[in-house]
Structure 1
Amino acid sequence: MYAIFFNTTGVKTVVPLEPGKTINSTWYTESCLPLVTKAINLQRPDTGLRGTFLHHVNANSHTSKMTRQFIEESGLHILLHLPYSPDLAPCHFWPFPRITKYLKGRNFSSNSELEGALRKVIGDINEKEFQGLFKLGLNE
């Protein structure tokens, strides 16, 4: 399992979940969010996290007190997901189907080989495609 964080310019970070572990607030706030904030700060040295929104679904790791506290302290903002609407998450329409299609039917001898293939497929997605995802449903 991997958590993939992206914005209009591409993938910001990919965070693997250790085999046998589960997604929880501690993993999300201590392993994922610091990497995301670091990547954004590196990309935007003048503005940092100002004006940055995370799209969160209603998963426990996204709504926990620990996560909310991290978000508040870091200055991030949350773009809430409609409750009971898992089919409306943009990542379910793209890029996850593209990644799944690329990886489907392939066997990997190690987690690092799988991660390499994952990084290759997401690395092949150009910036215009990421920008298009965020324009879906918007009137221009």
Structure 2
Amino acid sequence: MVATFVSKADYIATIPLNEQRTVTADWYTTICLPKVITELRKINPERRIILHQDNASSRTAQKTRQYLT
């Protein structure tokens, strides 16, 4: 399984989920989001980042909300 991120203008990143594990808030906040945010900052360091996410539990978990805050 992979998580792929795109912006309205370009491809951002594809991040593999090794060993077919379940997507958890821990993986999402320690592996996924840091890479995505780093790539977005390379493109435009001053622009505000807006993420459009689904309601999967890894994205709505308290740990994820705290990380994004």
TM-score, normalised relative to structure 1: 0.47
Alignment RMSD, CA only? 1.0
Long gaps (5+) in structure 2 = none
Query: Could you report, residue by residue, the CA deviation over 1:57-108 in whole angstroms, capped at 9, with x for unpaired residues?
Result: 1110000011001111xxxxxxxxxxxxxxxxxxxxxxxxxxxxxxxxxxxx
Match of 2:28 in 1: 28
Shift of the alpha carbon at 1:8?
A: 1.6
Greater Rg over alpha carbons, structure: 1
Match of 1:18 in 2: 18
Match of 1:8 in 2: 8
* Greater than 2 Å deviation, 4+ residue runs: none
TM-score, normalised relative to structure 2: 0.92
Report matched runs for 1:94-113 at 5 Å: none
Shift of the alpha carbon at 1:20?
A: 3.5
Long gaps (5+) in structure 1 = 73-140
Residue identity (%): 35
Q: Counterpart of 2:52 in 1: which secondary structure?
A: strand
Aligned residues: 69
| 1:64 and 2:58 aligned | no
Give the letter for the 2:66 counterpart. Answer: Q
